[in-house]
């Protein structure tokens, strides 16, 4: 199932770039900050509008979108506070749900917000 999902997302999805902080990097003595190490996935995802009936004003807000990516091609598990570029716009990940079949991750469904 994971392969079928990946093939369909590759066929019907739009280009995305998903950025995920994986740890802290080098300390910059000038800015006095440590920059995060960021893993990136550039590939495809399927973006969908959130239905009006799903909006609750707190965890799901008007303007949020759902982004589905294939779990077998993303080299990390996305998490809240990751960022993603979809259709040229930067979105923040607010929630992630992983759909599995027989113990194998098939897709990651991300709730994204500007």
Question: What digits encode the pLDDT tens for the residues 64-81?
Answer: 999 999 999 999 999 999
Stated pTM of the model:
0.88
Name the residue with tokens 């440590």: 34
- Which structure tokens are listed for 71? 């779990």
Question: How many C-beta atoms lie closer than 10 Å to residue 69's C-beta?
Answer: 25
Domains defined for the chain, CATH in brackets: 2-21+37-54+61-113 (2.40.10)
User: What pLDDT, on a 0 to 100 scale, did the predictor assign at position 100?
Assistant: 96
- Which structure tokens are listed for 108? 């990651």
Q: How many helices (H) and strands (E) does the chain have?
A: 1, 6
At residue 4, does pLDDT exceed 90?
A: yes
């Amino acid at each position: 199932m994971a392969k079928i999902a990946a093939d369909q997302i590759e066929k019907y999805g739009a280009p995305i770039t998903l950025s995920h902080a994986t740890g802290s990097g080098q300390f910059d003595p000038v800015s006095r900050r440590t920059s995060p190490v960021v893993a990136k996935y550039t590939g495809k995802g399927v973006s969908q509008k959130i239905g009006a009936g799903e909006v609750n004003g707190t965890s799901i807000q008007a303007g949020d979108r759902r982004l589905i990516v294939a779990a077998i091609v993303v080299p990390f598990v996305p998490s809240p506070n990751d960022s993603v570029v979809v259709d040229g716009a930067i979105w923040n990940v607010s929630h992630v749900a992983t759909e599995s079949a027989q113990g194998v991750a098939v897709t990651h469904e991300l709730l994204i917000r500007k």
